[in-house]
Amino acid sequence: MPKLTIADLQKIKEKYKADFTLREGGYTVKIIVHMGTCGIAAGARNIMTAVMEEIAKVNRNDIIVTTSGCAGLCAKEPLATVELANQPPVRYSDLTDEKIREIFREHVLGGKPVEKYALVTGCETTY
Amino acid sequence: MEKVRSHLMLCAGTGCVASGTAKVKTALEQELAKKGLAEEIKIVLTGCNGYCAEGPVMAVYPEEIFYQKVTPEEVPMLVEEHFLKGRPYQKLMFREPEKKAAIPGMKDIPFFKHQVLRVLRNKGLIDPEKIEEYIARDGYQAAAKALTEMTPEEIIKTVKDSGLRGRGGAGFSTGLKWEFASKVPSEIKFMLCNGDEGDPGAFMDRSVMEADPHSVIEGMVIGARAIGAHHGYIYVRAEYPLAVKRLRMAIDQATEAGLLGKNILGSGFDFELDIYLGAGAFVCGEETALMRSIEGKRGMPRPRPPFPAVKGLWDKPSVLNNVETLAQIAPIILNGSAWYRSLGTEKSAGTKVFALTGAVNNVGLVEVPMGIPLRTIIYDIGGGIKKGKKFKSVQLGGPSGGCIPEHLLDIPVTYEDIVATGAIVGSGGMVVMDDGTCMVGTAKFFLEFTADESCGKCTPCRVGTKILLDMLTDITEGKGKESDIATLEDLSRDIITTSLCGLGQTAPNPVLSTLRYFKHEYESHIHQKWCRAGVCRNLTTFWIDEKLCKACGACLRACPSKAVVGEKKVPHKIIQELCVHCRTCFDTCKFNSIRILPAGFDGDPNEFLAKTAVGAKEEK
């Protein structure tokens, strides 16, 4: 490591921000991929991978991804829920790789829920 | 850039490592790889999390789920349930003792909820072996501020105004100490750190050095700047291998990054830091003895004055601060003295770390605002006494401290209030004792320690502690004399007033404080040959109350010397000739039917017990 300057301290802090957003909170978007047995069988794993790739592409520190169990709608899996700060969560169903990437662009980044894929707004629990 | 969605903060403090952190880590790595999660879930090894009793512990972020007693065998289920399917794995989650429901979040667990973290601000949150993670949590920002924006006088004023007092035990104002050393003109000065933690049951400093070594280094850089020192040592005992390893690593990283060495952060200030390993002598925690030890001489104290601020290491002006004190410095510089004073009391500002051990349900490391009642620490954070037993006493301050009884549990934890009880805050060891503890035996335990650790330089300490120990041993063996109590008191005061250093000056405290609150125990040991707690083997007769005995056979099976006789539905009896007085039957009995009577008791037990019951007037 080269000798640091005071400006470098700040840069390191910025660089690690994503890690500490995870550990300390302060995120603005939470994407939940439902990964019960039904979800996994329907391809939730690919949905998760797609989400992770999209986040890596935009290099945003304030988006977190978590998994949750079966949402009770096994026929409509894979499901994912997008929660933007101060907005009701939106649950999407029958997802595919393309659909989730579109949702990511429109809803997560653009702030507009993608109505054609949306199943419900609001949620019985937001884990 | 790889996106990581979850961090598993696996504790790698000494306690959890001993409970199997390494195996759990390997199992986690294998299992995550197997499930294809290795890229998106990151394992971070942290320093001591504080909840040592239930290790290995692991906190999962962002959900803040807390797992305890994680074993390699449980890992496959844990990974599948939580990390793949997102269902927190109930089986390993924290449960409040006596309650069934699992509590998921760290913020809901009473042990964590009541704590306020300043010294331990990074505990369980950063990887102590990565300087970047420390920097990411505002690390070295305070050093930058102190070196480039503040004069040494301003640094000293801030620390002085904060009210920070030495956390090693004596509680002297840190700012004043720095001011004294800063005013002594000298080309060469030393900034030293005391990591020679030695009180039985205390592990605060070890945890800080392990979990957040850079916080100590940063405090030292700021202190060095304040007093004008360019060289420093961290004195740490060799029995702390993990702390030594992490400190070494941290010093190397900081030196490479230009945060130690020449021209720190381009400020023109130089400070070089080294580690000195102590061999574990308790007296080397005393400042003058510690400095002699670094000089390569036998660690023995010398009279003060001159104080180290004038003539310290190699006769140069030196400041020695405790690990925890130094870890408080960076936040004080960053946030100001008023912020620090916002917690604690007028004379005892800020927070203090305690090592909570003994007969409490939640053993571990806790940081609380000063002024909090002892009861809150023991009952809310500590979760009360183990196995539903009765509280008897809490020992504060290690071998220099004293035992505090139940009726004083509501006093606030401040330097002055604790001293008024006869104990001291000390470095923060807090040993909770239940009613199965003999207080004479407790005093004896601490005297064994100090008599052994006395360096021998001054007679009152060398000989005095030995005489105290011999008398206590006699009392616990049934050879106590009528005059013993008065002699113990007189001799204790003599040792306190005539010893050279803090070791001797405080060594009799455990005797005096137990005499103060538990004199009746000394008296029943001496007069009635009766150890009510059933600890001193020569001073007990175990007797089964046949009216209460359910004839369950538990004590019969547990007795190592086959002294209990009886069969199903026939109340049991103890054959006194065979009894080895080990108290196993007493601890085993679920129906509270076994009584502890004086040695060689001959008479009506019921009548005797009624007469001597708690609340009844004691026979003189």
For A38, nearest residue in chain B (alpha carbons): B85
Our count of domains for chain A comes to: 1
Are residues B87 and A13, on separate chains, in Cβ contact within 8 Å?
no
Same domain, B163 and B290: yes
Give the whole-angstrom CA distance, residue B253 versus residue B245: 12
Report DSSP letters for B328-359, one per residue. HHHHHHHH-HHHHHTSB-SSSBSEEEEEEEES
SS3 (DSSP) at B274: strand
B171 located within any domain: yes
Question: How far B383 CA lies from chain A's nearest CA (Å)?
Answer: 26
Residue A98: domain span:
26-121
pLDDT given for residue B103 in this prediction:
63
Rounded distance between C-alpha atoms, residue B125 and residue B91, angstroms = 24
* Domain, as residue range, for B261: 131-341
The CA distance from B357 to the nearest CA of chain A, in Å, is 28
pLDDT less than 50: residues of chain B: 1, 616-620
- From B321, B341, B361, give the residue that closes a domain: B341
User: Within an 8 Å CB–CB cutoff, is residue B127 touching chain A?
Assistant: no
CA B225/CA B152 separation, integer angstroms: 6
Residue A20 included in any domain:
no
Q: Is B268 on the interface with A (CB under 8 A)?
A: no
Based on the fold, state whether residues B429 and B447 are members of the same structural domain: no
Cross-chain residue pair A12–B135, CB shorter than 8 Å: yes
CATH number of the structural domain spanning residue B168:
3.40.50.11540
Report ipTM (2 d.p.). 0.78
- Are B193 and B285 in contact by the 8 Å Cβ rule? The answer is no
Task: Find out whether B56 and B16 touch, Cβ atoms under 8 Å.
Answer: yes
Residues B369 and B446 in one domain: no
Q: Is the pLDDT reported for residue A126 higher than 60? A: no
Same domain for B202 and B265, yes or no, is yes
CATH number, domain with residue A67: 3.40.30.10
Pick the residue with more confidence: A26 or B457?
B457
In a shared domain, residues B331 and B472 = no
Domain membership of residue A55 (yes or no) is yes
Question: Is B116 part of any domain?
Answer: no
**Percentage with pLDDT > 70 across chain A:** 95
Residue type at B514? T
How far apart are alpha carbons B393 and A57 in whole angstroms?
60
B336, burial (CB in 10 Å: exposed 0-12, middle 13-18, buried 19+): middle
Q: Where are the alpha helices (DSSP H) in B499-549?
A: 502-506, 509-517, 519-527
B272 and B152 in a single domain? The answer is: yes
Residue B33 in any domain: the answer is yes
Give me the CATH number covering residue B75: 3.40.30.10
Q: Which two tokens stand for residue B38?
A: 């290795």
Task: Name the residue with higher pLDDT: B220 or A64.
Answer: B220
First to last CA, chain A: 41
Mean pLDDT of A72-100: 88
- Write the pLDDT tens digit of every residue in B356-394: 999 999 888 899 999 999 999 999 999 999 988 999 999
Q: Which two tokens stand for residue B219?
A: 């405090």
Tally Cβ neighbours within 10 Å of residue A67.
Answer: 26
Q: Is residue A53 assigned to a domain? A: yes
Which of B527, B549, B581 is the endpoint of a domain? B527
Residue at B145 is within a domain: yes
Chain B segment 194-233 residues within 8 A of A by beta carbon are none
Q: Which amino acid is at B401?
A: G
B504 & B557 share domain: no
Query: Do the Cβ atoms of B70 and B78 come closer than 8 Å?
Result: yes
Give the residue-averaged pLDDT of A66-84: 84
Query: In chain B, whose CA is at the least distance from the CA of A70?
Result: B85
Cβ <8 Å between B87 and A55:
no
Give yes or no: residues B328 and B179 share one domain.
yes
- Taking alpha carbons only, the member of B117, B118, B135 closest to residue B126 is B135
Whether B255 contacts chain A with CB within 8 A: no
Question: What CATH number is given to the structural domain containing B607?
Answer: 3.30.70.20
Please check whether residue B121 lies inside any domain of the structure.
Answer: no
Q: How big is the A-B interface in CB pairs under 8 Å?
A: 105
Domain CATH number, residue B412: 3.10.20.600
**H-state helical runs in A27-84:** 37-42, 44-58
Residues of A within an 8 Å Cβ radius of B: 1-6, 9, 12-13, 15-20, 22-25, 27, 32-37, 40, 45, 48, 52-53, 55-56, 59, 64-69, 127
Residues B183 and B309 in one domain: yes
| A9 part of a folded domain | no
Query: Looking at B505, B527, B549, which one is the last position of a domain?
Result: B527
Cα-based distances in Å from B560 to B438, B556, B564, B589: 22, 9, 9, 15
- Is A71 within a domain? yes
- Crossing angle, helix B439-453 and helix B459-476, to 10 degrees? 150
The answer to whether position A73 is within a domain reads: yes
Together in a domain, B259 and B282: yes
Same domain, B154 and B290: yes
B494 falls within a domain = yes
pLDDT tens digits along B81-136: 899 888 889 889 877 665 656 666 667 777 888 888 999 999 888 999 999 999 99
A-proximal residues of B, 68-107, CB under 8 Å: 83-87
Which residues 6+ apart lie within 8 Å of A54 measured at CB?
A100, A101, A104, A105, A108
Closest approach of A72 to chain B, Cα-based (Å): 14
Residue type, B34: K
| CA distance to A75, B77, B81, per residue, from B87 (Å) | 20, 11, 5
Name the domain count of chain B. Answer: 5
Contacts of B218 in chain A (CB under 8 A): none
Residue A56 lies in a domain: yes
φ/ψ (deg, to 5) at B389:
-75, 175
Is residue A3 a part of any domain in this protein? no
Beta strands in B62-205 (DSSP E): 65-67, 94-95, 102-103, 190-195
Same-domain status, B12 and B77: yes
pTM metric for this prediction: 0.88
Which pLDDT score is estimated for B73? Answer: 95
DSSP code string of B238-253 = TT-HHHHHHHHHHHHH
User: In chain A, what residues touch B148 (CB-CB under 8 Å)?
Assistant: 6
